[in-house]
């Protein structure tokens, strides 16, 4: 990750001894030098008094084609991140590895923004902004290092191609533009020439749609080749899924999962098509499957590790799992991790069943130890758990043979109480489970959990 993104999206944070969720984790030290948050101090170092964080809103990150170096296969994690700074009517972005740019400082007349919210972009350099206060969409272009005004789309009204407080924008891989036309209670769709195509409201179902995000079958950084759009509406308390033609597929209210009071803000979709939604009321990120099944919530109120203050914009680079979150006075930078909880054991005849839940597709390694912390056997190594949720490991109490190379490489002290090929004798044991995510955090982060149990007696 390039240094300017660390400065733009990172500020030193203190350790918290009580709250350590690992659904998302801090980047490796060599990628950030320990810096993972950004606030007013960091912005001042680059921009002086020109720009301050005031009501940060939408975020989007892309890997620009113009930044590609075909002779360097290791440069493809260098991203351009655009952040809407709504209170000052500008867009902050990195122009290179070492510099910041701001759109909206020196522009005038039709190029000026008014309370912008959402933003989207593609690798070609196209950038679209929901210019909410001007009731239009602004199209910009970044050839490599500078955002340039191209045109405005629409004006205030309720006809086709007109808007009433547009809130968010999203692009598919054919260049079609989707706009949440909040005041008109609909989604409008434009082709890659910015010509109106159609709109939908779910038969009057949508009420003041705000945040939107989509994925399609042409997305190269997606494990699932699907076509759908996710929309926040109903006073920022409901999430709905539509296909890209506007047909409603599913809807869920946050009341249904136990949240009585929420303010859902923005959405992004990760490599596994899991859906991430910021909640400024509860100062967290809610995570759902591609089918709107609730997984977990990450974060809490505060300015310490794993904490947010009114998170708004959220974006993720789907290839490597780099995630950025805007909050009230800055932004934070995370990698996708994985979490494990509800580890339990069930005994069925001669089988021991270990059950637990995960929050991310993960690689699992599981070992059995005796009561003296000596190694008994390896149940499984680097096996992919492709689905999230409830997982199951089975052991028939027979001590399997572990590869000698593993024992020597990991310097494991082997138990003398067990004999390979025979049933483990009665006694106290422990299972140790290690999980690694499938993204950049693999080899840098391991989630471990242990459970003691007894055989016989």
Cβ(446)–Cβ(436) below 8 Å? yes
d(CA 205, CA 103): 36
Tokens of 75: 């440069």
Place of tokens 């199951």: 392
d(CA 297, CA 21): 9
Distance of CA 302 to the CA centre of its chain: 20
Residue 440: the pLDDT is: 82
Residue 78: the pLDDT is: 86
Fold exhibited by the domain 341-455:
Immunoglobulin-like (2.60.40)
- Centre a 10 Å sphere on the Cβ of residue 400 and count the other Cβ atoms it contains: 13
Q: Is domain 3-336 annotated with CATH 3.10.25.10?
A: no
d(CA 291, CA 249): 9
Q: What is the CA radius of gyration of the chain?
A: 24
Distance of CA 204 to the CA centre of its chain: 30
Spans of the chain below 50 pLDDT: 1-16
Residue 77: the pLDDT is: 65
d(CA 38, CA 12): 8
d(CA 205, CA 253): 13
d(CA 192, CA 55): 30
Question: Residues with Cβ < 8 Å from 49, sequence gap 6 or more?
Answer: none
The pairing of beta strand 351-358 with beta strand 389-395: antiparallel
Residue 456: the pLDDT is: 84
Question: Residues with Cβ < 8 Å from 44, sequence gap 6 or more?
Answer: none
In sequence order, what are the beta bridge partners of 444?
Answer: none
pLDDT digits (tens, 9 = 90+) for 193-249: 999 999 999 999 999 999 999 999 999 999 999 999 999 999 999 999 999 999 999
Residue 409: the pLDDT is: 93
In sequence order, what are the beta bridge partners of 252?
Answer: 239
Cβ(81)–Cβ(9) below 8 Å? yes
d(CA 211, CA 312): 10
- Judge whether 3-336 and 341-455 match in fold: no
Cβ(78)–Cβ(99) below 8 Å? no
Residue extents of the structural domains in the chain: 3-336, 341-455
SS3 track for the chain? CCHHHHHHHCCCCCCCCCCCCCCEECCCHHHHCCCCEECHHHHHHHHCCCCCCCCEEEEEEECCHHHCCCCCCCCCCCCEEEEEEHHHCEEEEECCCCCEEEECCCCCHHHCCCCCCCEEECCCCEEEEEEHHHCEEEEEECCCCCCEEEEEECCECCCCCCECCEEEEEECCCCCEEEEEHHHCEEEEECCCCCEEEEECCCCCCCCCCCEEEECCCCCCCCCCCCEEEEEECCCCEEEEECCCCCEEEEEEHHHHCCCCCCEEEEEECCCCCEEEEECCCCEEEEECCCCCEEEEECEECCCCCEECCCCCEEEECCCCEEEEEECCEEEEEEECCCEEEEEEEEECCEEEEEEEECCCEEEEEEEEECCCCEEEEEEEEEEECCCEEEEEEECCECCCCCHHHHHHCCCCECCCCCCCCECCCEEEEEEEEEEECCCCCCCCCEEEEEEEEECC
d(CA 123, CA 100): 19
d(CA 93, CA 5): 9
């Amino acid at each position: 990750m390039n240094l300017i993104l660390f400065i733009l999206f990172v500020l030193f944070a203190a350790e918290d001894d009580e709250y350590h969720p690992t659904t998302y984790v801090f980047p490796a030290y060599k990628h950030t030098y320990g810096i993972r948050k950004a606030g007013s101090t960091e912005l001042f170092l680059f921009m002086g008094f020109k720009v301050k964080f005031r009501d940060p809103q939408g975020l989007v990150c892309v890997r620009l084609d113009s930044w590609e170096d075909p002779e360097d296969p290791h440069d493809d994690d260098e991203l351009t991140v655009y952040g809407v700074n709504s209170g000052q009517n500008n867009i902050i972005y990195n122009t290179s590895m070492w510099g910041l740019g701001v759109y909206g400082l020196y522009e005038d007349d039709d190029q000026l923004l008014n309370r912008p919210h959402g933003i989207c972009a593609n690798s070609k350099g196209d950038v679209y902004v929901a210019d909410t206060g001007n009731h239009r969409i602004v199209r910009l272009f970044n050839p490599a290092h500078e955002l340039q005004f191209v045109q405005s789309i629409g004006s205030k009204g309720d006809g086709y191609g007109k808007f009433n407080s547009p809130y968010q924008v999203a692009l598919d891989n054919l260049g079609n533009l989707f706009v949440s036309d909040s005041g008109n209670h609909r989604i409008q769709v434009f082709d890659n020439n910015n010509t109106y195509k159609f709109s939908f409201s779910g038969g009057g179902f949508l009420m003041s749609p705000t945040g939107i995000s989509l994925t399609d079958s042409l997305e190269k950084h997606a494990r699932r080749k699907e076509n759908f759009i996710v929309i926040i509406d109903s006073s920022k308390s409901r999430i709905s899924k539509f296909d890209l033609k506007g047909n409603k597929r599913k809807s869920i209210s946050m009341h249904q999962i136990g949240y009585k009071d929420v303010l859902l803000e923005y959405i992004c979709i990760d490599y596994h098509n899991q859906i991430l939604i910021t909640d400024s009321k509860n100062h967290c990120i809610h995570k759902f499957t591609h089918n709107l099944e609730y997984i977990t919530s990450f974060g809490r109120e505060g300015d310490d590790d794993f904490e947010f203050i009114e998170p708004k914009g959220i974006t993720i680079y789907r290839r490597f799992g780099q995630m950025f979150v805007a909050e009230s006075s800055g932004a934070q930078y995370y990698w996708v991790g994985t979490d494990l909880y509800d580890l339990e054991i069930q005994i069925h005849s001669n089988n021991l069943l270990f059950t637990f839940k995960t929050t991310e597709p993960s690689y699992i390694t599981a070992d059995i130890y005796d009561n003296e912390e000596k190694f008994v056997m390896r149940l499984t190594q680097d096996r992919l758990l492709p689905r999230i949720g409830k997982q199951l490991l089975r052991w028939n109490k027979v001590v399997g043979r572990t590869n000698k190379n593993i024992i020597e490489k990991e310097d494991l002290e082997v138990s003398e109480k067990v004999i390979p090929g025979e049933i483990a004798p009665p006694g106290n044991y422990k299972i140790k489970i290690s999980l690694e995510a499938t993204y950049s955090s693999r080899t840098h982060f391991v989630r471990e959990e242990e459970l003691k149990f007894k055989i016989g007696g």
